[in-house]
Amino acid sequence: MKKYSNVFVFDHPLIKHKVAILRDKHTGMKEFRELVEEITTMMTYESMRDVKLVPVQVETPLETTTQYKVPEESVAIVPILRAGLGMVNGVHKVFPTARVGHIGMYRDEETLEPQEYYCKLPDGIENKTVFLVDPMLATGGSACDALDALKKRGCKNIKFMAIIGAPEGVSRVAEAHPDVPVYVSTLDRQLNENGYILPGLGDAGDRLFGTK
């Protein structure tokens, strides 16, 4: 895959360890959900290295000091339904007060084109740092459409986070949205003829929610 300045692939050994368990077809729903959450929390830490801190005055038992904090109310989380829901708690671990918007997308199984069926976003989202989350970045159609929907509503500072990315989808999002940093914990080999990621982990929504 070509190199993109807005694509970040994590190479952390603990993330690799957890992704290995996540992929395993014998990993059950409960453990799968917990792993998605844990990996998301680690990715959130890593993706906030560039966050702008604001100065605050803190009184220690000894004196008053200027310290620096993340303005928490400036963060929003937007999962792409359904599977993105599995990542929300992972970001909330870091930003417990972040408002949550929802964008519903499903892939037409024949054409693989994403269809938007729901969109509800918190007021003022256009002034927040938005974490758009979806565990799977396959063809990139869903992510591109969700990013278009957020930008149409005025969002200017968006970070897209996926647990597994296929080169096809990562390139598509990176090129269509060069202003959006794309974080993937793991870059996989390719898509198969049905648009599934290889080696992948199967259908993330089904594994999170126990559907088929």
Give contact residues for ligand URA (rule: CB under 6 A). Answer: 83, 136, 138, 195-197, 200, 203-205
Q: Which of 11, 24, 65, 111 is catalytic?
A: 111
d(CA 107, CA 158): 22
Report the site for ligand PRP in 99-118 (rule: CB under 6 A). 105-107, 112, 114
86 binds ligand PRP (CB under 6 A): no
Q: Is 101 helix (H, G, I), strand (E, B) or coil?
A: coil
d(CA 135, CA 204): 7
CB-wise, 4 or 196, nearer to ligand URA?
196
d(CA 203, CA 5): 29
Q: Which of 27, 33, 99, 203 is catalytic?
A: 203
Q: Stretches 18-26, 64-72, 86-94, 135-143: which one binds ligand PRP (CB under 6 A)?
A: 135-143
Element (H, E) at 59: strand 54-59
CB-wise, 52 or 189, nearer to ligand PRP?
189
Report the site for ligand PRP in 147-186 (rule: CB under 6 A). 169
d(CA 23, CA 56): 43
Whether 64 sits among the annotated catalytic residues: the reply is no
CB atoms within 10 A of CB 194: 8
Query: Which of these, 157, 151, 163, lies nearest to 131 by C-alpha position?
Result: 157
Question: 4, exposed or middle or buried, with CB in 10 Å at 0-12, 13-18, 19+?
Answer: middle
Whether 203 sits among the annotated catalytic residues: the reply is yes
Provide the mask over 28-57, with x wherever binding to ligand PRP is found by CB under 6 A and - wherever it is not: ------------------------------
Q: Site for ligand PRP (CB under 6 A): which residue of 136, 158, 180, 182? A: 136
137 binds ligand PRP (CB under 6 A): yes
Pairing state between β 7-9 and 182-187: parallel
User: With CB cut-offs between 5 and 8 Å by kind, which of ligand PRP, ligand URA, none does residue 200 bind?
Assistant: ligand URA
Exposure pattern of 53-77 as b/e (b: 16+ CB <10 Å)?
eeeeeeeeeeeeeeeeeeeeebbbb
CB-wise, 23 or 107, nearer to ligand PRP?
107
Minimum separation from the CB atom of position 166 to ligand URA (A): 8
Whether 111 sits among the annotated catalytic residues: the reply is yes
Catalytic positions, please?
107, 111, 203, 206
